[in-house]
Amino acid sequence: MRLKIIICIVFLIAALNSIRVSAKSKAPNFEKKVTEHFERFFANIAKAYEQYLQEQEDIKLLAEVIYHENWSTDKDKRAAYLTGAVVMNRVNRNDSWLHLKGDKTVYDVVYARGQYSTTKLFYTKEIPQECYDMARDIYLHGTPDVPADVIFQATFKQGKLYEKVNGEWFCYG
């Protein structure tokens, strides 16, 4: 994917350079306008690529949380799904829950003080592809069947119960 983007950018630069050279004599401010336009264009590409990389890191970390929290003990994967929903609900909350203000990433939520104790296990085992698929789906499409205010997950009740699965309590915050 990265190589394709780099190749496209190189060809685009070469094409633009030939346009600039041929049109330079035809319009007085042409070179300046083209330069400004493509500086904005490449800045947008860089921003989109950074966002893509952040999304990939978030999805990978979300898969780690889902896997280490309850993947192996969850036969129908409902608790795993709810774990992903809780993490993303916390990411998407607009208040300063967990003392995290503004935009939050999955990393911010997972590594917030006193949250997921399984973080010491992260990146120690190979995560099944279906776990990554679940994390990607939750990250990109959300969990419309889980209310946005379901933000607590524990082996004990922490608020009004939404659902209890395999000894895990998923509660409203």
Q: Tell me if 120 sits within 8 A of 111, measured CB to CB.
A: no
pLDDT digits (tens, 9 = 90+) for 52-65: 898 999 999 999 99
| pLDDT for 1 | 56
Four-residue CA torsion sign, 116, 120, 121, 123? positive
Q: How far is CA 112 from CA 91, 115, 127, in A?
A: 11, 6, 23
**pLDDT band with cut points at 50, 70 and 90 for residue 36:** confident
For residues 103 and 91, what is the distance between their CA atoms, to the nearest angstrom? 8
Q: Integer distance in angstroms from the first to the last C-alpha of the chain? A: 40
What's the pLDDT tens digit per position in 110-121? 998 888 888 888
The CA distance from 128 to 8, in Å, is: 33
